[in-house]
Amino acid sequence: MSKSTNGEEKSSVFRNISSAIGGEKLVLIAAIIVVFILFSCLNRNFFSWGNIINLMVAASLVGLVAIGHTYLIIAAQNDLSPGSLVAFTGTLCALLVSLNIPLVISIIITLAVSAIVGVCNALMVNKIKLDPFIATLVSQAILRGFAYIICNGKPVAISDQAYLNIGTAAFIGIPLSVWITIICIIIFGFILAKTKFGRSIYAIGGNKEAARLAGLNPQKIITISFIIMGVLCGIGGIVFTARMNCGQPAANVNLEFDAITAVILGGVSFTGGVGNMGGTVLGIILIQAFNTGLIMVNVPSFWQYVARGVLLLLALTSDYLRKEKRKKVLLAASMKNA
């Protein structure tokens, strides 16, 4: 009798934890644990403090872009230009500083340009009615080209110590770049979950026409979401160049690939209207642990591309299964009410 009672208590505790955290997030947490155990067995340095710091630093850039993608994908949009935009803004800021323009002014100009890129992406989607994939594919090519043009194809060295400090500074042993990402996650996570604007993003992602009829302005919300993505990429570009000590026009190819994978793994529906920042954070940890692990066990770079492609396929498959499950739940509820 006591065994049965204990079993029921454990089952009840598990259900409470599952309902509090979310079943999908529990699966993600389990996957993260498995990845850490696997790569720690293959390379004992994987779980060292030094490598955890390196993992967090690498995840900080993916994290900034993933925050923007969380907003856009929930709004049923997408953006393929972040890798090129990060390279362009980083190179631009490094170039401005090299021309003896004060660092603060250089950063303001860079973030303003980033926001303008976001506006341009939104205009192509809202006014020209291009599919977000096509519109941002155009931006991807143009921005990468401008990144090379403004520096004549050569990396721009950084000698300004204040700029370099952005990449080297740390607080309680954790680099500034990580803290910047954490702060952005908290701020934009709060906006998404607790504000009218956040609820509006879910509304237009679920049904844009119904949201419009309810009094929302989908074009305005989409524009703001693209601007947020642009500014986050600008921040990422500035921090990245500070870490690398130079602006690199060839850097961050396929950055958006990892960010989108992290967001979809985190439970954001590719068709819009579903997801949250907490899931995105878990997705970021999983994708970066996976990528770092592949490097540390000396998997050839071309096989790393294959592995990342498989991971994205798994993420999209998981998203499809979640969508089908939601359809069944809604159908069952509608039949019950009928």
Distance CA 224, CA 221 (A): 5
Site of tokens 């390379």: 43
Distance CA 249, CA 235 (A): 16
241: number of Cβ within 10 Å: 31
For the chain, domains (ranges, CATH) are: 26-337 (1.10.3470)
CA-based torsion, 254, 189, 230, 178: positive or negative: negative
The contacts of residue 208 (CB under 8 Å, 6+ apart) are 76, 218
Instruction: Give pLDDT tens digits along the chain (338 positions).
Output: 455 555 555 555 445 444 445 567 888 899 899 999 999 999 989 989 999 999 999 999 999 999 999 999 999 999 999 999 999 999 999 999 999 999 999 999 999 999 999 999 999 999 999 999 999 999 999 999 999 999 998 999 998 999 999 998 999 989 999 999 999 999 999 999 999 999 999 999 988 889 988 899 999 999 999 999 999 999 999 999 999 999 999 999 889 999 999 999 888 988 888 899 999 999 999 999 999 999 999 989 888 889 888 888 888 888 788 777 777 776 676 667 66
Cα–Cα distances (Å) from 254 to 80, 152, 181, 260, 307, in that order, read 9, 22, 19, 10, 14
> Quick check: helix, strand or coil at residue 246?
strand
